[in-house]
Amino acid sequence: MSTFLIVEDDALHRSFLREVITRSDLGCTRLVEAEDGEQAIRLAREVEPKGIVLDLQMPKKTGVQAAKAIWADDPTMPILFWSNYADEAYVRGITKIVPACATYGYLLKTSSKERLLRSIQCVFVEGQNIVDREIRGVQQRGAGQTEGLSEAEYEVLLDIAIGLTDQAIANHRGISLRSVQGRLQQLYAKLGLDEIPLIAGRTAEFNSRSRAVAVALMSRLINGRSIEAADSDYRRAMTDLGRNGEAAK
Amino acid sequence: MSTFLIVEDDALHRSFLREVITRSDLGCTRLVEAEDGEQAIRLAREVEPKGIVLDLQMPKKTGVQAAKAIWADDPTMPILFWSNYADEAYVRGITKIVPACATYGYLLKTSSKERLLRSIQCVFVEGQNIVDREIRGVQQRGAGQTEGLSEAEYEVLLDIAIGLTDQAIANHRGISLRSVQGRLQQLYAKLGLDEIPLIAGRTAEFNSRSRAVAVALMSRLINGRSIEAADSDYRRAMTDLGRNGEAAK
DNA sequence: GACGCCGTTGCGGGAACCCGCAATTCCGTT
DNA sequence: AACGGAATTGCGGGTTCCCGCAACGGCGTC
């Protein structure tokens, strides 16, 4: 007997997934459903499914956070990510937490029923990893060095996106103030802020710092959720540091 | 014979809407479907439906933009907005473009089939206006004066969100530089930036400007799409002004 | 070991931002 | 006509940001 877990907050998509999986030839005998990230983590532990279909955008906990917790329990758990967007923030989040041995897939919700079925087969039965073509594009852009931001630049981007000052970033990342500014300069360059700003007149039209966040949002490098995540990360780091005192210094 | 138009980019939700409407007792004899904002505008003009169900988040053109164009042709067209989120950015966008005589509704996609059916009945047959309770909350927060931002504050919020400098905002809005800074101070106060910033130590932890954008994003006052919209608005205003020269001054 | 590349850091200055104080204007109320 | 509140603007100064220049250190190559 094999049981599967589907995690999806939208009732419509949930019932769609349910139908596709039960009609597949997975030999699925039990289907468990969750509506948010916390439920997902709990149920994954309780029912020990043979595979999980996981939405990324959910209340309580992100799909990425849920996957991280689930893989912490069992790094071999096959997970098929199932998302609305190919935003870089999501892709980057996933590639950062996936264990070496994990089998997973990443599919967009716009995929046809056939492709979904095929992917379920691939990931849950044959143990292959598959990633949607649209997402591949983002991934390469992220990993490659021609376009795309380095890890350091991405970090500093999130830091200014949550509103930190240069000094606060320096403390947070453990580097000097001038280094922060150096990284910011690189970031601005890569986002192309040095190209457009001086069109309209005599004085600078854009504030580099704010503009960087804007273009990052518009080009889907980050989104509202990644900002929330970064904010709570930072908040947690601060309180931890507060408890340990300045000893870590 | 009565025809209806449904506009929704997600295939699943579209077929759900189709089913609900055909099974209703609207006397719907023809059902036309569109997948993006531009199609919606064109089809609304061509088929002259008795009512439209309109998703807000779509490729090509926003639901808000589409509704604006449709109502420009026929201000009496009943429109039922059908959205994933109760983000203030959307609500504000709608209340700003709705004609006095229009009949419309605003429903969340999390609504049950029954509620959807009832709302369709109310809006398309009885010509009532209905708005989901969750959204009401946002609306009041938006309209009321206790919480919520004034129009001026909201404008300046969008301006810094797209990365404009104080000076650029002043030019854009036709006010002095100091006024911009005054409005920003109000905005910062209303977003609660004066409460938390000085926890961690001696120096300010947050850059007010960037932090304001961050909390606005996190509290759903704005989102990536409203930033895109504001950006293209600004860009358009600039080119227009460029063509007319400084004569307008 | 010399060379070059890359990231980090210091210095310094010009520009932009943040904001308290105060004068003025506008508008609605009494 | 007088009053009060809200929005706009000027002034001044302290802070932060942006960035060019240059020096230093690590790391891989030849």
Tell whether B162 and B197 lie within a shared domain.
Answer: yes
For residue range A71-82, list pLDDT tens digits in order: 888 888 999 999
pLDDT for A141 beyond 70:
no
Decide which of A98, A119, A142 is a domain's last residue.
A142
Tell whether A118 and A239 lie within a shared domain.
Answer: no
Which residue of chain A has the CA closest to B199? Answer: A238
Q: Output A132 or A188, whichever has higher pLDDT.
A: A188
Q: Is the dihedral of CA A194, A199, A204, A205 positive or negative?
A: negative
For residue range A31-72, list pLDDT tens digits in order: 899 999 898 999 999 888 999 999 998 888 888 889 989 988
Please name the helix (run of DSSP H) or strand (run of DSSP E) that holds residue A181, with its range, or none: helix A177-190
Tell whether A178 and A236 lie within a shared domain.
Answer: yes
Tell whether A45 and A119 lie within a shared domain.
Answer: yes
pLDDT score, position A125: 82
Tell whether B243 and B223 lie within a shared domain.
Answer: yes
- Give the helix ranges, DSSP H, for B75-207: 88-97, 113-120, 133-143, 151-161, 166-173, 177-190
Nearest one of A229, A225, A157 to A191, comparing CA atoms: A157
pLDDT for B90 beyond 60:
yes
pTM score, whole prediction: 0.76
Tell whether B108 and B60 lie within a shared domain.
Answer: yes
- Distance of C1' in C23 from CA in A200, Å: 34
Decide which of A116, A142, A168 is a domain's last residue.
A142
Could you tell me the CATH number of the domain that includes residue A193? 1.10.10
Nucleotide nearest residue B210, measured CA to C1': C17
Could you tell me the CATH number of the domain that includes residue B60? 3.40.50.2300
Distance (Å) from the alpha carbon of A224 to chain B's nearest alpha carbon = 6
Which residue of chain A has the CA closest to B215? Answer: A162
Residues near B7 by beta carbon (within 8 Å), at least 6 away in sequence = B33, B34, B35, B36, B37, B39, B40, B52, B53, B54, B55, B58, B63, B66
Is strand C less than 7 A from the beta carbon of A122? no
Distance (Å) from the alpha carbon of B104 to chain A's nearest alpha carbon = 24
Its domain, for residue A159, covers: 151-248
pLDDT for B143 beyond 60:
no
Is strand D less than 7 A from the beta carbon of B189? no
Supply the DSSP string of A99-163, one letter for each residue: -TT--EEEEETTS-HHHHHHHHIIIIIS---EE-HHHHHHHHHHHSSSSS--HHHHHHHHHHHTT
Tell whether A115 and A10 lie within a shared domain.
Answer: yes
pLDDT for A140 beyond 50:
no
- Residue that has been written with the tokens 């439209």 in this structure: B52
Tell whether B112 and B183 lie within a shared domain.
Answer: no
- Cβ separation B211–A160 shorter than 8 A: no
For residue range B63-75, list pLDDT tens digits in order: 888 998 999 888 8
Rounded distance, CA A77 to CA A241, Å? Answer: 33
Q: Which nucleotides of C are covered by protein (CB under 7 A)?
A: 7-12, 15-20
Distance of alpha carbon B155 from the chain centroid: 14
Which residue of chain A has the CA closest to B245? Answer: A200
Tell whether A63 and A159 lie within a shared domain.
Answer: no
Nucleotide nearest residue B206, measured CA to C1': D16
Tell whether B187 and B92 lie within a shared domain.
Answer: no
Quote the number of domains for chain A: 2
Rounded distance, CA B245 to CA B239, Å? Answer: 10
Rounded distance, CA A39 to CA B61, Å? Answer: 36
Work out the widest C-alpha separation in chain B, in whole angstroms.
Answer: 72
Tell whether A66 and A173 lie within a shared domain.
Answer: no
